[in-house]
Amino acid sequence: MKKVNYRKYDLIFTEGTPGDCAYMIDEGRVAIISGKGIQGKHKVLAILHKDAIFGEMALIDEEVRSATAFALEDCQLSVITTKTLHYLIENEPLTLSPLLEVLSQRLRQTTKLLQDKMGTRHGSRATHPVGKG
């Protein structure tokens, strides 16, 4: 995999821009932020460390970036392109475990956020009996 270096506070990618690769952190820390809140500040979604993978959604769905990533300190990153992903799927599928783990964790986090926002919890039942309402 290709290695890239970013200096402290360098932008890695920006929310809303096309994405064609993911990254794995070899050295350093990366912040993932999104949008602007009520007071005009970005929301910090995650602070990622060595061996973390980010930007993976662009590899899977080829949509625009859903967040912004920047280096919190000098970083070395491994670039995971779609070509690399396809090679791994065909030739070394077991090496994709970390990527699948990240996708699963992020899906669980998103599901929990939605449940919290809707006021539902795992295992809760509807408050209205069926057929009445």
For the chain, list the domains and their CATH numbers: 2-118 (2.60.120.10)
* pTM of the predicted model over 0.75: no
**How sure is the predictor about 62, in pLDDT bands with cuts at 50, 70 and 90?**
confident
33: burial class by Cβ within 10 Å (0-12, 13-18, 19+)?
middle
Q: Give 1-10 pLDDT, tens digit per residue.
A: 899 999 999 9
* Residue 66 structure tokens: 């859903």
Instruction: Tell me the pLDDT tens digit for each residue of 3-56.
Output: 999 999 999 999 999 988 999 999 999 999 987 656 667 888 889 999 888 998
What's the burial of 110, exposed, middle or buried (CB within 10 Å: 0-12/13-18/19+)?
exposed
